[in-house]
């Protein structure tokens, strides 16, 4: 029997290919092991236009190209905030950051002197899956609180390996921020590398960080191949300062930024190859996306949002629409999905795949995307709310997006309120160039009704980001 026909045979029996090689003792616990594995690969500040498969002309991403060809490429997939901490909180909890308190109008993200973090009563996707018997690993950037009570090992992860916040933090006193970001040396950023809750290296050697994260992920897959697992693989890159391994220096025609992306692409290849080698590929869903758009103020060290407007820090499309790929050979219907999706949907989707009920004591902001992934049905997501800090700046419903407030990313740019709001048809005008508000008063009315409904169901969490140690 060939490998493929063996897999098909086992699938008909409801068994994974991995189970075929298990000992009888292990195989008796079959029900647990047939739950699918899940890996979320989460980049930092990757732009919508920075992958070959999303149209970049000089960044070579053969592994992501193949992943997209074998899986689903989502062209309208959103994060719930345009900066790190709130975006990550939304992925982890399936809830808008205003509900969890993981956003603020005082400080946009957590810093090394922050006293707060993801509240202990928030349920992460890792906790939900752990309750279903999953082995869980967080490898990479966390940025949901660096104090012990907020670390991944206190939020449902069995193990953690990574830099707990952004790689440009803990800057050596007296250095010029922009200068050390544009000409980086690891000695300029005294960021720690943690194993669970212990600092094992400081400053972290960021040159090898992508490679070492990848090795950790591969080892976890191999160590846990006989039980269901969930891996949150959150790259520290391509957030500035940019670092890559020696092997990738000069690898790209797009400078150091391209080198960094091509190392991430290599990493994806390593992970998918490991799944194939261990016969876990047909029982593992892998999602690739990023936390927010490109950091445009860093010139060539920042990425590109392609045809989308603006980048990180804004509620324009370039800040919050991410290049996203879902992969699960033999299970996901390959193709391009132009419907809406969000990292908010990963929590309910992962729970559904694991057979877990959503906790019923809180409001969730996501949908189970399984019908789109596996049956090619329309996405249940019809809308997206774009917050900056605690304020709602824009709302998308169907093809239309209304901006009530706009604000550029960084610097002293003031928020600009729009009354009447700006309205763009994102299907026709993804670059948000042509205001069509005059032509669609009916659409604006529908969006206002949607906001009223959203606000009626909103209980705001206390600001977890403002307090300093």
- Start-to-end CA span in the chain (Å): 63
Q: Is 138 noted as a catalytic residue in this protein?
A: no
Q: Which is nearer to Mg ion, 319 or 421 (CB)?
A: 319
* Contact region with Mg ion (CB under 5 A), list: 42-50, 191-199, 280-288, 400-408: 42-50
CA 183 – CA 119 distance, rounded (Å): 36
CA 141 – CA 82 distance, rounded (Å): 16
Contact flag: residue 214 with Mg ion (CB under 5 A): no
- Closest contact distance (angstroms) between CB of 433 and Mg ion is 26
DSSP H helices, 249-390, are: 255-277, 317-320, 346-354, 370-375
Q: Which secondary structure element, helix H or strand E, spans residue 416, and what is its range? A: strand 416-425
Could you tell me whether strands 135-140 and 159-162 are parallel, antiparallel, or unpaired per DSSP bridges? parallel
Contact flag: residue 292 with Mg ion (CB under 5 A): yes
Q: Which secondary structure element, helix H or strand E, spans residue 456, and what is its range? A: helix 441-456
- Closest contact distance (angstroms) between CB of 84 and Mg ion is 4
Nearest to 265 by CA among 323, 313, 221, 347: 323
- Per CB under 5 A, the list member of 18, 40, 45, 145 interacting with Mg ion is 45
CA 9 – CA 80 distance, rounded (Å): 41
- Per CB under 5 A, the list member of 41, 44, 64, 345 interacting with Mg ion is 44
Q: Is 181 noted as a catalytic residue in this protein?
A: no
CA distance to 103, 358, 419, 432, per residue, from 416 (Å): 20, 38, 10, 16
DSSP H helices, 39-112, are: 62-70, 84-93, 97-100
Q: Which is nearer to Mg ion, 42 or 326 (CB)?
A: 42
Contact flag: residue 425 with Mg ion (CB under 5 A): no
Contact flag: residue 50 with Mg ion (CB under 5 A): no
Is 5 buried (19+), middle (13-18) or exposed (0-12) by CB count in 10 A?
exposed
Which residues, other chains included, contact 62 with Cβ-Cβ below 8 Å and sequence gap of 6+? 52, 265, 269
Place of tokens 């999602």: 287
Q: Which is nearer to Mg ion, 43 or 392 (CB)?
A: 43
Q: Which is nearer to Mg ion, 214 or 292 (CB)?
A: 292
- Closest contact distance (angstroms) between CB of 45 and Mg ion is 4
- Closest contact distance (angstroms) between CB of 15 and Mg ion is 40
- Closest contact distance (angstroms) between CB of 61 and Mg ion is 19
Both tokens of 443, joined, read: 């659409």
Q: Which is nearer to Mg ion, 45 or 265 (CB)?
A: 45
Q: Which is nearer to Mg ion, 260 or 354 (CB)?
A: 260
- Closest contact distance (angstroms) between CB of 85 and Mg ion is 9
Place of tokens 């070492």: 212
Answer for the pair 266, 209: CB distance below 8 angstroms, yes or no. no
* Contact region with Mg ion (CB under 5 A), list: 36-44, 227-235, 400-408, 432-440: 36-44
Q: Which is nearer to Mg ion, 45 or 345 (CB)?
A: 45
Contact flag: residue 463 with Mg ion (CB under 5 A): no
- Per CB under 5 A, the list member of 38, 39, 84, 337 interacting with Mg ion is 84
Q: What angle do CA 398, 406, 416 make, to 5 degrees?
A: 140
Contact flag: residue 432 with Mg ion (CB under 5 A): no
Candidates 43, 84, 138, 351; catalytic one: 84
Contact flag: residue 291 with Mg ion (CB under 5 A): yes
- Closest contact distance (angstroms) between CB of 409 and Mg ion is 12
Contact flag: residue 263 with Mg ion (CB under 5 A): no
Candidates 143, 224, 239, 403; catalytic one: 143
Nearest to 27 by CA among 221, 271, 293, 227: 227
Binding residues vs Mg ion (CB under 5 A):
44-45, 84, 291-292
Catalytic annotation, residues: 84, 143
């Amino acid at each position: 029997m060939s490998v493929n026909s063996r897999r098909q045979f086992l699938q008909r029996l409801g068994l994974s290919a991995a189970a075929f090689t298990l000992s009888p003792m292990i195989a008796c616990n079959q029900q647990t092991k047939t739950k699918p594995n899940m890996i979320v690969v989460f980049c930092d500040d990757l732009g919508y236009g920075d992958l070959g498969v999303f149209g970049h002309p000089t960044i070579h991403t053969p592994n992501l190209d193949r992943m997209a060809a074998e899986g689903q490429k989502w062209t309208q997939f959103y994060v719930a905030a345009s900066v790190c901490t709130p975006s990550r909180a939304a992925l982890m909890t399936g809830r808008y950051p205003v509900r969890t308190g993981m956003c603020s109008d005082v400080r946009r993200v957590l810093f090394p002197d922050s006293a707060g973090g993801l509240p202990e009563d928030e349920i992460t996707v890792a906790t939900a899956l752990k309750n279903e018997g999953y082995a869980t690993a967080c490898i990479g950037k966390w940025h949901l609180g660096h104090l012990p009570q907020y670390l991944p090992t206190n939020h449902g992860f069995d193990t953690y390996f990574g830099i707990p916040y952004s790689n440009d933090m803990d800057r050596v006193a007296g250095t010029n921020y922009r200068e050390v970001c544009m000409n980086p040396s690891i000695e300029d950023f005294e960021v720690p590398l943690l194993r669970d809750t212990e600092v094992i290296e400081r400053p972290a050697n960021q040159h090898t960080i992508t490679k070492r994260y990848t090795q950790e992920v591969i080892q976890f897959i191999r160590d846990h191949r006989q039980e269901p697992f969930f891996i949150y693989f959150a790259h520290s890159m391509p957030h500035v300062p940019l670092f890559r391994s020696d092997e990738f220096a000069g690898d790209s025609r797009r400078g150091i930024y391209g080198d960094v992306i091509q190392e991430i692409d290599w990493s994806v290849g390593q992970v998918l190859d490991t799944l194939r080698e261990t016969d876990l590929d047909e029982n593992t869903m892998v999602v690739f996306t990023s936390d927010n758009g490109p950091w445009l103020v860093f010139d060539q060290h920042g990425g590109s949002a392609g045809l989308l407007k603006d980048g990180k820090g804004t509620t324009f499309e370039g800040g919050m629409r991410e290049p996203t790929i879902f992969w699960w050979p033999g299970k996901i219907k390959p193709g391009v999905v132009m419907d809406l999706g969000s990292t908010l949907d990963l929590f309910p989707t992962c729970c559904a795949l694991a057979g877990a009920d959503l906790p019923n004591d809180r409001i969730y902001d996501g949908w189970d995307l399984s019908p789109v992934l596996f049956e090619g049905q329309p996405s249940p997501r019809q809308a997206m709310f774009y917050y900056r800090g605690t304020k709602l700046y824009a709302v998308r419903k169907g093809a239309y997006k209304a901006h009530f407030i706009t604000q550029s990313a960084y610097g002293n740019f003031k928020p600009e309120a729009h009354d009447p709001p700006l309205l763009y048809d994102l299907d026709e005008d993804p670059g948000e160039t042509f205001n069509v508000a005059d032509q669609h008063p009916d659409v604006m009315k529908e969006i206002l009704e949607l906001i009223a409904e959203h606000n009626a169901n909103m209980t705001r969490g206390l600001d977890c980001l403002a307090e300093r140690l």
